[in-house]
């Protein structure tokens, strides 16, 4: 892990001696579909023909626009591949320098932007077959989240059932922005499949439902969308708790990725207070919302969206009220800090740092 510390020169955390021996888990590294030609070997004859004859090139929406400062860190080229698009690049940029024990792949290929449900399902299946063949079966350090057509709950459930038995898949990738919040009971078939295969639900930054990202329409800039994504996470947690998803699925495990966490204490104070006044409306909930969140939810560390003052940042982390919530993540190849691969708050108690860097993810994903 000494290498990891070198990668965060201005944000170095524990003394090297304290860090030695921790087997790092990165719970959010991206496997990026560069374009649809990558998936052609995994499409059937019909869809290969559609691609060849119609100019349909698969999803073009991107959770991160191509050339913004947040979209790509400074990475040395690995062959011709853009960062994140090949296993070789991932090894060179993340796995080897961090000496990571395990990385969990997120593929945010925007199949949800494709309105044709058969196309969306086919592309999701192709992405999953690509993840298995070109990533999971080539490096034992990798795990991945299943790509699903998140505009179609029943088809999404079918895809989870199709590939959910592969040992490399440990989660299901759910874009945080969807047309209908995940607590809505129309999503139950998907959560049946997720919990039936003992997978983690990954609620991830992004999503392309074609509806505005705020209650008041489309913001002008991507900067606003980036900031507003915290609202989408709050809305989804509200829905999942209030509509009883955790009561119906008591074993459900949920990870928030690329969500930030600074908003969580304030959100839970508000939600707990409202629950005390309004619980009659949702009688299936038996505990304050914060109790559900602390039991069922874990959060990827990037972006560290707390205060710049290290002392205040530790106060905020203390307000999370649990050492079990945060899990180290790089969000490779995206960038949330001006320098380095990822930020780790400085001055963490060693025990908490160990939980964040390794143990919390191992517990959540039931890793060795």
Partner 1 sequence: VIVDCDIHNAPLSEQALHAYLPAAWRSRRAVGGRLSPTFERQRETLGDRSYLGSEYPRATPRAARTDAWPPNGAPPAADLSFLREQLLDRYDIEYGVLTPMLGAGEQLDVESGAALASAINDWQIAEWLEPEPRLRASINVAYEDGALAAAEIHRLGHDARFVQILMLIRTAEPLGRRKYWPMYEAAVEHDLPLGVHYGGWGRGPITGTGFGSYYIEDQVGMATAFQDQLTSLVVEGVFERFPTLRVVLIEGGIAWLAALMWRLDRAWKLLRAEAPHLDRLPSEAIREHVWLTTQPMDEPTRAGDLGVLFEHLDMDDRIMFATDYPHWDFDSPERAIPKALGADRRRRILRDNAHALYRLDSGDG
Binders in 61-90 for partner 1, by CB under 8 A: 68-70
Cβ nearer to partner 1, comparing 19 with 110: 110
Among 335, 340, 344, 352, binds partner 1 (CB under 8 A): 335
Using the rule CB under 8 A, give the single segment among 34-42, 118-126, 146-154, 173-181 that binds partner 1. Answer: 173-181
Task: Quote helix, strand, coil % in the chain, to nearest 5.
Answer: 45, 10, 45
Cβ nearer to partner 1, comparing 35 with 224: 224
Query: Judged by CB under 8 A, does residue 300 bind partner 1?
Result: no
Alpha-carbon separation of residue 181 from 307, 310, 312 (angstroms): 29, 35, 33
Among 3, 34, 52, 211, binds partner 1 (CB under 8 A): 211
Cβ nearer to partner 1, comparing 149 with 181: 181
- Give the separation between CA 306 and CA 349, rounded to whole angstroms: 17
Site for partner 1 in 269-298 (CB under 8 A): 269-275, 277-278, 280-282, 290
Please report how close the Cβ of residue 200 comes to partner 1 at its closest, in angstroms. Answer: 19
Residues 6+ apart with CB under 8 A from 291: none
Cβ nearer to partner 1, comparing 191 with 267: 267
Among 74, 312, 347, 349, binds partner 1 (CB under 8 A): 312
Residues 6+ apart with CB under 8 A from 125: 42, 159, 162, 163
Query: Judged by CB under 8 A, does residue 310 bind partner 1?
Result: no
- Give the separation between CA 364 and CA 328, rounded to whole angstroms: 12
Query: Judged by CB under 8 A, does residue 173 bind partner 1?
Result: no
Site for partner 1 in 179-208 (CB under 8 A): 179-184, 207
φ/ψ (deg, to 5) at 214: -130, 170
Query: Judged by CB under 8 A, does residue 10 bind partner 1?
Result: no
Helices (H), 20-98: 45-54, 87-90, 96-98
Which of 340, 280, 343 shows the shortest CA–CA distance to 308? 343
Residue 303: cis peptide before it, omega within 30 degrees of 0: yes
φ/ψ (deg, to 5) at 278: -120, 10
304: left (phi over 0), alpha (psi -120 to 50) or beta: beta
Among 231, 287, 322, 367, binds partner 1 (CB under 8 A): 231
Please report how close the Cβ of residue 82 comes to partner 1 at its closest, in angstroms. Answer: 20
Please report how close the Cβ of residue 74 comes to partner 1 at its closest, in angstroms. Answer: 13
Using CB under 8 A, count the residues that bind partner 1: 73
Among 267, 292, 332, 365, binds partner 1 (CB under 8 A): 267
């Amino acid at each position: 892990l000494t290498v990891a510390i070198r990668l965060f020169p201005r944000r170095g955390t524990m003394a090297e001696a304290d860090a030695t021996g921790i087997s790092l888990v990165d719970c959010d590294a991206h496997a990026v579909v560069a374009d649809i030609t990558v998936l052609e070997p995994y499409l059937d004859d019909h869809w290969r023909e559609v691609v060849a004859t119609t100019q349909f090139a698969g999803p073009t929406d991107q959770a991160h626009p191509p050339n913004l400062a947040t979209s790509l860190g400074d990475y040395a080229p690995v062959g011709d591949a853009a960062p994140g698009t090949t296993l070789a690049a991932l090894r060179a940029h993340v796995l080897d320098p961090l000496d990571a024990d395990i990385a969990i792949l997120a593929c945010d290929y925007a199949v949800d932007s494709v309105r044709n449900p058969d196309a969306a399902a086919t592309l999701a299946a192709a992405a999953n077959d690509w993840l298995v063949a070109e990533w999971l079966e080539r490096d034992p350090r990798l795990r991945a989240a299943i790509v699903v057509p998140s505009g179609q709950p029943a088809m999404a459930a079918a895809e989870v059932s199709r590939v959910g038995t592969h040992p490399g898949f440990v989660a299901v990738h759910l874009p945080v922005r969807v047309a209908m919040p995940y607590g809505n009971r129309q999503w139950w078939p998907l959560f049946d499949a997720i919990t039936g295969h003992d997978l983690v639900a990954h609620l991830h930054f992004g999503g392309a439902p074609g509806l505005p990202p705020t209650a008041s329409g489309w913001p002008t800039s991507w900067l606003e969308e980036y900031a507003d994504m915290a609202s989408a996470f709050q809305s989804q947690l509200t829905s999942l708790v209030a509509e009883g998803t955790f009561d119906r699925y008591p074993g459900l495990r949920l990870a928030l990725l690329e969500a930030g966490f600074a908003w969580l204490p304030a959100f839970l104070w508000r939600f707990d207070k409202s629950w005390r006044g309004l619980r009659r409306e949702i009688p299936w909930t038996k505990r304050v919302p914060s109790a559900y969140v602390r039991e069922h939810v874990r959060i990827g560390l990037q972006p560290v969206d707390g205060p710049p003052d290290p002392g205040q940042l530790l106060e905020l982390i203390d307000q999370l009220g649990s050492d079990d919530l945060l899990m180290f993540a790089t969000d490779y190849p995206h960038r949330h800090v001006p320098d380095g691969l990822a930020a780790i708050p400085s001055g963490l108690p060693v025990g908490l740092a160990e939980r964040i860097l390794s143990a919390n993810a191992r517990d959540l994903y039931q890793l060795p």
